[in-house]
A and B are shown apart, each in its own frame.
Chain A
Amino acid sequence: GAVVSQHPSRVICKSGTSVKIECRSLDFQATTMFWYRQFPKQSLMLMATSNEGSKATYEQGVEKDKFLINHASLTLSTLTVTSAHPEDSSFYICSALQAGGLGSPLHFGNGTRLTVT
């Protein structure tokens, strides 16, 4: 159980275009989803917290107009990288919080490797 599906796994786009990444919880409802970013040999850095039916909460330094997050249902959150530039190239990973109390672990998708040329 607790499977999180992330799509696409890999995307290459040209500078200035927008890219949408989907994150789905397949066998549980996730009121809260999280979007992380990971650079090579670096820690996962939280970008934003996505709550179903409300606006996302962004971490300091993350541009909310550049990284649009929508959490329209209890099983789906999307991250759209708008007007992507080469410096946005990274590994983006979503995670979902399974209901069960404050100590519940996060379950992660398999990530999306974004390359902006």
Chain B
Amino acid sequence: EDQVTQSPEALRLQEGESSSLNCSYTVSGLRGLFWYRQDPGKGPEFLFTLYSAGEEKEKERLKATLTKKESFLHITAPKPEDSATYLCAVRGALESSGGGADGLTFGKGTHLIIQP
């Protein structure tokens, strides 16, 4: 069964202080690793999809990277509006996926707070 572990659970940074969020995963036959942002009381907002080790994606102050065992979400010079919970999810092979054939298995997320 696919598993996703995110760390840290919570992270408080000063505005402009760069850092990284970790997502460790166990999956048989990765068919995509996904990063989402979730604001309180809202549904997750799609950020990135990564498919293979070595791949990188960037969007504004965020950069996602992928290895065979983990993914990192790097946040550079964050602003208060970047405060949110960041969720990592995987889609594994059809035979091993516990998240439905094309569904996603999520980690618990990292609650990020950027202080002005």
A: residues with CB less than 8 A from B are 2, 4, 6, 32, 34, 41-44, 46, 48-49, 57, 59, 91, 93, 95, 97, 102-103, 105-111, 113
Interface size on B, residues (CB 8 A): 29
* B101 / chain A contacts, CB cutoff of 8 Å: 49, 57
Contacts A34-B100, A107-B46 given; does A113 touch B41 at CB 8 Å = yes
Tell me the chain B residues, 89-116 only, with Cβ under 8 Å from chain A. 89, 91, 98-109, 111
B: residues with CB less than 8 A from A are 4, 31-32, 34, 36, 41-46, 49, 51, 87, 89, 91, 98-109, 111
Q: How far is the CA of A105 from the CA of B17 in the complex (A)?
A: 30
Q: How far is the CA of A47 from the CA of B53 in the complex (A)?
A: 30
Closest to B42 in A: A110
Contacts across chains A and B counted by CB atoms under 8 Å: 71
Whether the Cβ atoms of B46 and A103 lie closer than 8 Å is: no
Whether the Cβ atoms of B43 and A109 lie closer than 8 Å is: yes
Whether the Cβ atoms of A6 and B49 lie closer than 8 Å is: no
Q: How far is the CA of A59 from the CA of B104 in the complex (A)?
A: 13
Whether the Cβ atoms of A111 and B42 lie closer than 8 Å is: yes
Closest to B44 in A: A108
* B44: contacting residue among A2, A44, A59, A97, CB under 8 A: A44
Closest to B31 in A: A102
Whether the Cβ atoms of A93 and B43 lie closer than 8 Å is: yes
Whether the Cβ atoms of B99 and A46 lie closer than 8 Å is: yes
Closest to A97 in B: B102
B72–chain A nearest beta-carbon distance, Å: 19
